[in-house]
Amino acid sequence: MAELDAVRPIRTVGADHVALREQVLAELRRRIVDGEYGEGERLTETRVADDFGVSRNPVREALRVVEAEGFVEILPRRGAVVTTLDETAVRDLFAVREQLETLAAGQAAERATAAGIAGLRTLIDQAAAATAAGDLDRVAELNSDFHRAVLDVSANRWLQSMSAALYHHVHRVFRTGAAHRAPHSLDEHTHLVNAIEARNPTEATNAARHHVQAAAQAALIQRPTA
């Protein structure tokens, strides 16, 4: 019996529930980010549970998480409603981005490894191919991947943890204007990587600031006023 216990896989109570909750959360977040659930759309627990083919419990938990992340607002007698990224929300988002990304860019220029720089170059090449092919969904994914990679290259674990939810919102904003922004973003990313590779923190910081400000200006053109 002892030998059987030694080889029997250990299962923790609620393990399947946690896995289901995380799957529901990831899919709910994806649908909001990709616009499948639009701004202002009402998301009742019953409706989302039916959409996903699950019970209401993991949906309820997922809605609480996306509320904390800023994707939905829980309103009295209405339930969850997908938040609208109006002018104020976009300005606030990009103000935070500018602080985080300029710091990350400067530190990346100081700390980048050859492998880290090569990874950034690969993402740029992939984004160029996706842009040429008109695959805007892929362009939006690679845009977020690139910015997360710069954070990784900065080797600042605090920046990495603080920005986890932020880039879901960045993706949400970018995808709506990807057709216009893609070629400009590609050039700006290239400039940033050149500065990082040159080990020039000042130039990298300036490149990151210019990129975020240009992205903010483009995003604000598409947003309703508050």
DSSP 25: H
Structural domain harbouring 161: 87-222
Residue 60 is encoded by which pair of tokens? 């309820």
Q: What is the CATH number of the domain that holds 49?
A: 1.10.10.10
For residue 14, is pLDDT > 70? Answer: no
75 shares its domain with 94: no
Q: Point out the domain boundary residue: 82, 114, 132.
A: 82
Name the band, by pLDDT with cuts 50, 70 and 90, for residue 4. Answer: very low
Assess whether 71 and 92 both reside in one domain.
no
Residue 12 pLDDT more than 70?
Answer: no
Q: Write out pLDDT tens, residues 45-102.
A: 999 999 999 999 999 999 999 999 999 999 888 889 999 988 999 999 999 999 999 9
Q: Give 171-203 pLDDT, tens digit per residue.
A: 999 988 888 899 999 999 999 999 999 999 999
Q: How many of the other CB atoms lie within 10 Å of CB of 48?
A: 23
Domain final position from 82, 101, 132: 82
In the block, residue with structure tokens 């845009």: 143
Q: What is the pLDDT of residue 28?
A: 97
pLDDT band at 225 (very low <50, low <70, confident <90, very high): very low
Split into its structural domains, the chain has a count of: 2
Say which range, 42-46, 66-70, 222-226, has the weakest mean pLDDT: 222-226
Give me 7's structure tokens. 């080889």
Same structural domain for residues 190 and 94?
yes
DSSP calls for 50-101: HHHTS-HHHHHHHHHHHHHTTSEEEETTTEEEEPP--HHHHHHHHHHHHHHH
118 and 190 inside one domain: yes
Give the span between the Cα atoms of 150 and 120, in whole angstroms.
7
- Asked whether the predicted pLDDT for residue 11 surpasses 80, the reply is no
**What pTM does this model have?**
0.82
Alpha carbons 155 and 141: distance in angstroms, whole number = 22
Give the three-state DSSP class for 42.
Answer: strand
User: Residue 221, exposed/middle/buried by CB under 10 A (0-12, 13-18, 19+)?
Assistant: exposed
